[in-house]
């Protein structure tokens, strides 16, 4: 599904991000615009050479995002991705470069994360009630889950980059929800680069990419939300330059049944929503798509396995872990230089 962040989640995140920025002197040279995309909102701040360029920038960004959704959405029945999902097994589907690239990157991240990230998890996402059709939330039976596990497996997708084509070796569905927002942020950033914008912050549904500075005195500063339900607080603030940041959490999109919280992140190895003490994870990378997918993968792997993988791969990652008394945090050495402020307990 592309991409389910509720309006409430968006408002919460936006407020948190801007809470961190509020104390800073506003820069009169920065302009800001926002809009709707992929079931959530985008927000862009930038410093154009001339403020009359604003209208042009906004329509260029809106056009790009409109096209992007037509390619990657699982909400649009006629998107390119949904056409691939309906395409016969074993036949090469001619695809756009953008879809081929994103599928290839997704498969690479599945390999790095040993299948924790898996774009074929869609049928399970729907079974658990988190799909585009929002079929309500109930705990499925073990048999239902086992049946669907047979339809999961990124290994059954083939990508031919040279001839720009995709193939599935068995009946499965692709859901790019956990990486597409990140890739859209990257595409908008590249568009702004091509228009010689020197300073910008692009944000879609909480995934962020920056370039340059917010002002002469200040770098871009972004708040990392505390994983609290129905409350807004900043857990930490990071300072970004030419960087991308994405977060994943179990506290925004979930349901509760029998005292158990079921989150929208599914462990493709078990078929169940993740069940560990990791409440949220934030990743900083060069590319937002990678940060987005890795954050979801770490959310699947949990506080120990996820942390170990981030350490092994030298990935800047920040983990917020649930304890009886509140939260504890831990981060990889690569994350430390970004941290400018931490919430006092």
Minimum distance, C-beta of residue 118 to ligand ADP, in the bound complex (Å) = 5
Q: Which of 12, 44, 81, 125 binds ligand ADP (CB under 6 A)?
A: 125
- The reply to whether 99 sits near Mg ion by the rule CB under 5 A is no
Q: Which of 13, 117, 128, 220 binds ligand ADP (CB under 6 A)?
A: 117
Determine which residue in the list 42, 57, 75, 130 makes contact with ligand ADP, applying CB under 6 A.
130
| Residues 71 and 85: beta-carbon distance below 8 Å | no
Residues 189, 210: Cα–Cα separation, whole Å? 8
Kind plus residue range of the DSSP H or E element containing 203: strand 200-204
Cβ count near 140 (within 10 Å): 15
Q: Does 12 bind ligand ADP (CB under 6 A)?
A: no
Q: What's the first-to-final CA gap in the chain, in angstroms?
A: 36
Q: Is 222 in the site for ligand ADP (CB under 6 A)?
A: no
Alpha helices in 130-273 (DSSP H): 142-149, 177-194
Judged by CB under 6 A, does residue 47 bind ligand ADP? no
Instruction: Say how many residues touch ligand ADP, by CB under 6 A.
Output: 22
The structure tokens listed for 19 are 């809470």
Sign of CA dihedral 166, 168, 173, 179: negative
Q: Is 292 in the site for Mg ion (CB under 5 A)?
A: yes
Query: Which residues partner with 316 through β-bridges?
Result: 284
Q: Which stretch binds Mg ion (CB under 5 A): 48-56, 76-84, 134-142, 295-303?
A: 295-303
Does 152 participate in binding ligand ADP (rule CB under 6 A)?
no
Contacts 24+ apart (CB under 8 A), 78-85: 79/2, 81/174, 81/176, 84/166, 84/168, 84/174, 85/173, 85/174
Dist. CA 179–CA 187, nearest whole Å: 13
Nearer to ligand ADP, 63 or 111 (CB): 111
What is the smallest separation between the CB atom of 216 and ligand ADP, expressed in angstroms?
33
Q: Which position among 268, 271, 302, 303 is part of the footprint of ligand ADP (CB under 6 A)?
A: 268
From 27-35, 52-60, 78-86, 170-178, give the range in contact with ligand ADP by CB under 6 A: 170-178
**Footprint of ligand ADP on this chain (CB under 6 A)?**
1, 3-4, 117-119, 121, 125, 130, 175, 177-178, 248-249, 264-266, 268, 292, 295-296, 300
């Amino acid at each position: 599904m592309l991409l389910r962040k509720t309006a409430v989640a968006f408002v919460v995140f936006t407020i948190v991000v801007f809470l961190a920025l509020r104390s800073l002197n506003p820069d009169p040279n920065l302009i800001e615009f926002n809009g709707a995309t992929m079931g959530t909102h985008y927000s862009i701040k930038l410093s154009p050479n001339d403020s009359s360029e604003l209208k042009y920038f906004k329509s260029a960004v809106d056009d790009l995002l409109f096209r992007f959704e037509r390619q990657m959405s699982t909400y649009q029945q006629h998107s390119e991705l949904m056409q691939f999902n309906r395409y016969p097994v074993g036949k090469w589907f001619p695809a756009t470069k953008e879809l081929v690239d994103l599928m290839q990157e997704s498969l690479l991240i599945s390999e790095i994360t040993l299948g924790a990230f898996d774009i074929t998890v869609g049928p399970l996402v729907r079974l658990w009630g988190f799909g585009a059709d929002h079929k309500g939330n109930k705990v499925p039976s073990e048999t239902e889950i086992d049946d669907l596990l047979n339809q999961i497996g990124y290994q059954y997708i083939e990508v031919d980059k040279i001839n720009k084509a995709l193939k599935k070796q068995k009946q499965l569905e692709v859901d790019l929800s956990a990486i597409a927002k990140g890739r859209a942020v990257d595409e908008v950033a590249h568009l702004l680069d091509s228009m010689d914008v020197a300073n910008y912050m692009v944000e879609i549904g909480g995934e962020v990419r920056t370039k340059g500075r917010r002002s002469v005195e200040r770098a871009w500063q972004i708040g990392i939300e505390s994983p609290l339900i129905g409350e807004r607080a900043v857990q930490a603030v990071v300072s970004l330059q030419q960087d991308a940041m994405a977060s994943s959490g179990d506290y925004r999109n979930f349901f509760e049944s029998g005292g158990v919280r079921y989150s929208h992140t599914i462990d493709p190895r078990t078929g169940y929503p993740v069940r560990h003490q990791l409440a949220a994870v934030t990743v900083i990378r060069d590319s937002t798509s990678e940060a987005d997918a890795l954050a979801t993968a770490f959310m699947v792997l949990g506080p120990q396995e996820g942390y170990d993988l981030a350490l092994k791969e030298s990935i800047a990652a920040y983990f917020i872990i649930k304890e009886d008394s509140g939260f504890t945090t831990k981060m990889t050495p690569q994350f430390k230089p970004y941290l400018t402020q931490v919430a006092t307990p």
